[in-house]
C-alpha cells in the first residue's frame, strides 16, 4: 500500500515528480525495514500495539493523545498498528482516528479473529471492517489459537476474495507454544505473532527459527513484558556499551534486542504517548546489536 522511491521510479514517476511526494517519504526510509517473506513487501521494524491503553477510550480528552501518536507515527514513517476486536474500544479508536487523519493508505493495519465457530467468526470479521472503517485489512490473525482450523479456513477465503492481504496466528502464552509450533508446521501462514522479550526468550529457541524456515513474517507482542523489563532496570543506568549499537534509552535497549533477531519482522510495543513513540521508533534507527552483543545483553539482564 505504500510506495517507496524505487517503486515510484519504476512506475515512471521520476524527476520532477518529487514535489508530489509526501514530505515524510524521506523520513520513512530512515526507519530500518524488514521484508515480509511471503511477498517481499517492506515494513519498519517498530510498530504500535493498542492493547490496554486504547481499550477504554470514551472522551475526546482520552482520544487526543492517541490522535497525536498516530499522526506522528505516520509522519515519521511508521506503518504497523496492531489491534484486536477483544481490545475494548481499540479497533474503533484506531478506525476513527486513521479516517480522521486520512492516513489509511500508508498504514499496515493488523487485527485478529478471536471467537469459536464459523458464523461467529464471520460476524466478528464484519465488525472489524466496520470499526476500522476500511475495505481492506492488511493482516488478520487467529487470536490465541481460538478455533484455529475453522477461522483459518474463513481467513483464507477472505484473503482470496481480496478483503485481507495477509493471514496468521498469534499467542502470548507459553503454554500454547507447542500447539503454536505444530500449527506453524501444518499451515501456510504469512505471519505469526508471539511473545518475546529480553527476559522472555523462549520463542527464540524454536518458534522464531521455525518461522524463518517456513518463510513466515514475525510480529512480537509484549516486547517489554507489559512493562516488567522497566521495573527490572529501575534506578539503573544503561551500560556504556549500549552506545555501540546506537542505543540511548532502556526502551531502545529492549526493542533493539528483539528486532536484531534475524527472523523478526517487527515489534509491537504498546504505545499511547508521543514521548514513548519517539523513544520506541529510535530503536528502528542506527546500528543493531550483533550476535555477540545480543549474548552480552542477555547476560546483563539475567545478572540483575
Ligand X SMILES: NC(=O)c1ccc[n+]([C@@H]2O[C@H](COP(=O)([O-])OP(=O)(O)OC[C@H]3O[C@@H](n4cnc5c(N)ncnc54)[C@H](OP(=O)(O)O)[C@@H]3O)[C@@H](O)[C@H]2O)c1
Rounded least distance, CB 54 to ligand X, Å: 8
Cβ nearer to ligand X, comparing 54 with 129 = 54
Residue 44 found at the interface with ligand X (CB under 6 A): no
Residue of 70, 126, 124, 118 whose CA lies nearest to 93: 70
Stretch that binds ligand X, among 38-46, 48-56, 62-70, 91-99 (CB under 6 A): 48-56
Sites for ligand X among residues 99-138 (CB under 6 A): 112
Per-residue DSSP letter, 40: -
Which ranges of the chain would DSSP assign to H, the alpha helix?
Answer: 5-10, 25-28, 60-75, 90-101, 118-132, 148-160, 177-186, 207-214, 228-232, 250-259, 274-281, 291-302
Strands 33-35 vs 42-44: parallel, antiparallel or unpaired: antiparallel
Cell of 282: 529510535
Sites for ligand X among residues 13-42 (CB under 6 A): none
Given a contact cutoff of 8 angstroms between Cβ atoms, the answer to whether 197 and 258 are in contact is yes
Residue 241 found at the interface with ligand X (CB under 6 A): no
Stretch that binds ligand X, among 13-21, 184-192, 263-271, 292-300 (CB under 6 A): 263-271
Residue 224 found at the interface with ligand X (CB under 6 A): yes
Residue 82 found at the interface with ligand X (CB under 6 A): yes
Q: How far apart are CA 252 and CA 94, in angstroms?
A: 25
Sites for ligand X among residues 162-191 (CB under 6 A): 170-172
Residue 147 found at the interface with ligand X (CB under 6 A): no
- At 139, which helix (H) or strand (E)? strand 137-142
Rounded least distance, CB 114 to ligand X, Å: 8
Rounded least distance, CB 271 to ligand X, Å: 6
Instruction: Say which residue the cell 487523519 belongs to.
Output: 101
Residue 202 found at the interface with ligand X (CB under 6 A): no
Residue of 301, 125, 138, 158 whose CA lies nearest to 219: 138
Residue 230 found at the interface with ligand X (CB under 6 A): yes
**Residues 6+ away with beta carbon under 8 Å from 71:** 101, 103
Residue 193 found at the interface with ligand X (CB under 6 A): yes
Cβ nearer to ligand X, comparing 199 with 298 = 199
Cβ nearer to ligand X, comparing 11 with 56 = 56
Cβ nearer to ligand X, comparing 22 with 88 = 88
Write out the residues near ligand X by the rule CB under 6 A: 49-53, 82, 112, 143-144, 170-172, 193, 221-227, 230, 251, 268-272, 276, 279-280
Amino acid at each position: 500500500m505504500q510506495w517507496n522511491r524505487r517503486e515510484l521510479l519504476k512506475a515512471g514517476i521520476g524527476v520532477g515528480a518529487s514535489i508530489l511526494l509526501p514530505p515524510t517519504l524521506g523520513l520513512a526510509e530512515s526507519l530500518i525495514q524488514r521484508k515480509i517473506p511471503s511477498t517481499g513487501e517492506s515494513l519498519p521494524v517498530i510498530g504500535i500495539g493498542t492493547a490496554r491503553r486504547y481499550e477504554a477510550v470514551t472522551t475526546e480528552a482520552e482520544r487526543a493523545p492517541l490522535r497525536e501518536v498516530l499522526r506522528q507515527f505516520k509522519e515519521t514513517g511508521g506503518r504497523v498498528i496492531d489491534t484486536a476486536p477483544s481490545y475494548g474500544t481499540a479497533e474503533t479508536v484506531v478506525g476513527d482516528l486513521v479516517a480522521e487523519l486520512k492516513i489509511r493508505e500508508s498504514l499496515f493495519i493488523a487485527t485478529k479473529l478471536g471467537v469459536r465457530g464459523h458464523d461467529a467468526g464471520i460476524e466478528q470479521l464484519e465488525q472489524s471492517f466496520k470499526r476500522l472503517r476500511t475495505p481492506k485489512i492488511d493482516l488478520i490473525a487467529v487470536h490465541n489459537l481460538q478455533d484455529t482450523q475453522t477461522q483459518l479456513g474463513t481467513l483464507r477465503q477472505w484473503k482470496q476474495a481480496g478483503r485481507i492481504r495477509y493471514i496468521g496466528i498469534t499467542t502470548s502464552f507459553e503454554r500454547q507454544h507447542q500447539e503454536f509450533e505444530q500449527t506453524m508446521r501444518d499451515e501456510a501462514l504469512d505471519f505469526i505473532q508471539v511473545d518475546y522479550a529480553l527476559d522472555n526468550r523462549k520463542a527464540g529457541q524454536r518458534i522464531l527459527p521455525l518461522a524463518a524456515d517456513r518463510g513466515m513474517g514475525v510480529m512480537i507482542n509484549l516486547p517489554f513484558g507489559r512493562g516488567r523489563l522497566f521495573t527490572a532496570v529501575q534506578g539503573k543506568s544503561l551500560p556504556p556499551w549500549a552506545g555501540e549499537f546506537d542505543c540511548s534509552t532502556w526502551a531502545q535497549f529492549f526493542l533493539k534486542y528483539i528486532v536484531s533477531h534475524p527472523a523478526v519482522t517487527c515489534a509491537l510495543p504498546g504505545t499511547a504517548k508521543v514521548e514513548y513513540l519517539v523513544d520506541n521508533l529510535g530503536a528502528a534507527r542506527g546500528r543493531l546489536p550483533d550476535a555477540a552483543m545480543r549474548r552480552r545483553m542477555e547476560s546483563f539482564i539475567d545478572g540483575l
